[in-house]
Structure formats: C-alpha cells, structure tokens
C-alpha cells in the first residue's frame, strides 16, 4: 500500500484483465481502470466489442490489448490466466439472464445461466486466484447483482447464480487473504446495459425500477467505474470479502409508498 494518500487510487504499472470488457459494465470498468493508469487486457467472446474497447482506451492515450474468451471454456480460461500471469487485477463481469418464472423454465435454461454466471466465474477465480496467491498480491473483483440480495418474479435462476458468485468471492477472500490477495463482489442495481434491454423496452417495468431507487433513476454504465477502481486500488487495501452495492439505494428503502407526514 502507498503511504501517500494522493496515490491511493492510482494503478500505474499494474495489469488489469477485464473479462466481459467488450460492452456494458465491463467496458466501463476497463475504461475507468485505464484512466487511473492500469494496462488493460480485454477478454470477451465478442471480439468486435473487445477490439472496440481496446481501441477506445488507446485513443485516450492508455495501453490496452484484447483476447477472445468464452467463460464456458475451462481450457481457454487456463490459457488466459497463464498468458496474463502477471495480472494484479481481475474483473469478472459476464452474465446472462432468462427472465421466466421458475415453474416455466427448463433444465437447459438453468444449465446455461449457471454455466456462464456461476461456473464461468468459478473457473476464473480458480485460475487467476492460484497465480495471484503464488505471487502474493492481487485484487479480484467479481460482478454479482442486487438480485443476490432481493428478487422479483422471473429472476430466480439469475438471482441464485449471483448469490453464488458472492459466496464464491467470500470463500476465495478467506482462502487467499493470508497470501495478500483481496477478493470482493460488486452488486449493480438497475444499470442501462445490453443485459437490461428487455426491461428498458417495457415502459411500466422501466419506470417502476427507476421509482424504486432512492435516486429515482437508472444508472449509466460509466457510474460503475469508481467502485471498480476503488476495489482494484490501494484505496481499498483493507477491504476484502465484501459485497459493494451500487444500486442507487434500492435495498436501503422500502419504496412502495411515500407517506404524507
């Protein structure tokens, strides 16, 4: 940890691997880390999006590269972790959702969401965690969701996987803490990203989400960057095993009725 407060958030000289950095919150995270000095590697199944994010970072005068990665491919994840074994920051953002009531779902839908959201995260934690532990330093940031804490009809499988991500993160924090590696989960609330297009297209659904937050609005993708930079940097040097809510106050308030008192 730096002994100069002015440097606490700086990431100069550190390599950050952002999985899912080709779009949405992953892209915003990658841009934020680069702005604070990190050398960013974008890993994504969407190679076009990954290349665009890397180019956007380079246009800002920072260093970035990209690689193709499918989080369902265990061998590919192992190859990435070995190739980027000097990474000091890992950000894991990929997620998919099937918005259907549980009694209407089928095994294939369950397996698909679990394989990406939970098992994909597990594979990345295992491979990068082992290498960071050997080197004695690192910060891993997983993306859960406020749905790990609160649910609504039609979000059961997604919520279960995101709760699992939180517990995997806490377990790895406990296991790697003595080796100098921190692991934290981020829980975004209603952010405008490709994953929430279905909600945004429904005016009643979209408006209800905005009204439930204390701030009475949805978040823009770049509003996640500050939390990611904080968790990646020495500013959070004593923070591990935590769930960082970024949900506009959703879970802090009731939100159903505003009494006239």
CATH code of the domain containing 60: 3.40.50.720
C-alpha to C-alpha distances, 17 to 5, 71, 141, 150, nearest whole angstrom: 25, 13, 10, 29
Q: Determine, yes or no, domain membership for 171.
A: yes
Q: Determine, yes or no, domain membership for 252.
A: no
DSSP 81-148: HHHTTT-SEEEE-------S-GGG--HHHHHHHIIIIIIHHHHHHHHHHHHHHHHT-EEEEEE--GGG
Alpha-carbon dihedral sign for residues 208, 213, 215, 220: negative
Q: For the chain, 261 residues long, give each residue's pLDDT as a single digit of tens.
A: 545 556 899 999 999 999 999 999 999 999 999 999 999 999 999 999 999 999 999 999 999 999 999 999 999 999 999 999 999 999 999 999 999 999 999 999 999 999 999 999 999 999 999 999 999 999 999 999 999 999 999 999 999 999 999 999 999 999 999 999 999 999 999 999 877 888 888 899 899 999 999 999 999 999 999 999 999 999 999 999 999 999 999 999 987 777 888
Cα separation, 99 vs 196, in Å, equals: 11
pTM > 0.85: yes
- Point out the residues that are catalytic: 158
pLDDT value of position 118 = 98
DSSP state of 163: H
Which residues does residue 66 pair with via DSSP β-bridges, in sequence order?
A: 42
Q: Determine, yes or no, domain membership for 23.
A: yes
Tell me how far the alpha carbon of residue 120 is from its chain's centroid. Answer: 12
The answer to whether residues 26 and 32 touch, using CB atoms and an 8 Å cutoff, is no
Token code pair at residue 239: 């923070």
Token code pair at residue 76: 């590919």
Q: Determine, yes or no, domain membership for 33.
A: yes
Cα separation, 170 vs 38, in Å, equals: 25
Q: Give the structural domain span for 118.
A: 11-188+221-243
pLDDT value of position 141 = 99
Q: Determine, yes or no, domain membership for 201.
A: no
Q: Determine, yes or no, domain membership for 199.
A: no
Contact partners, residue 227, CB within 8 Å, separation at least 6: 186, 244, 246
**How many domains is the chain built from?**
1
The answer to whether residues 33 and 18 touch, using CB atoms and an 8 Å cutoff, is yes
């Amino acid at each position: 940890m730096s002994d100069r407060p002015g440097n606490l958030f700086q990431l100069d000289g550190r390599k950050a691997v952002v999985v899912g950095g080709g779009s949405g919150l992953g892209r915003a995270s990658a841009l934020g880390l680069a702005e604070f000095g990190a050398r960013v590697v974008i890993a994504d199944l969407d190679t076009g999006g990954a290349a665009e994010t890397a180019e956007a970072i380079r246009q800002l005068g920072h260093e970035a590269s990209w690689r193709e990665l499918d989080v369902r491919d265990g061998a590919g994840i192992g190859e990435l972790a070995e190739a980027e074994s000097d990474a000091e920051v890992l950000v894991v953002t990929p997620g998919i959702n099937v918005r259907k009531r549980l009694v209407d779902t089928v095994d294939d839908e369950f397996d698909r969401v679990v394989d990406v959201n939970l098992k994909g995260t597990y594979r990345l934690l295992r491979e990068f965690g082992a290498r960071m532990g050997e080197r004695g330093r690192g910060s891993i940031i997983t993306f859960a969701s406020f749905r790990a804490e609160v649910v609504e009809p039609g979000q059961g499988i997604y919520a279960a996987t995101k709760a699992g991500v939180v517990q995997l993160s806490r377990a790895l924090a406990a296991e790697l803490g003595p080796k100098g590696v921190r692991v934290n989960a981020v829980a975004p609330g209603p952010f405008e990203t490709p994953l929430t297009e279905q909600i945004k297209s429904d005016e009643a659904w979209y408006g209800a989400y905005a009204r439930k937050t204390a701030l009475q609005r949805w978040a823009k993708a770049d509003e996640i960057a500050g939390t990611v930079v904080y968790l990646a940097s020495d500013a959070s040097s004593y923070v591990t095993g935590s769930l960082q809510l970024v949900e506009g106050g959703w879970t802090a308030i009731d939100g159903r009725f505003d009494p006239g008192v």
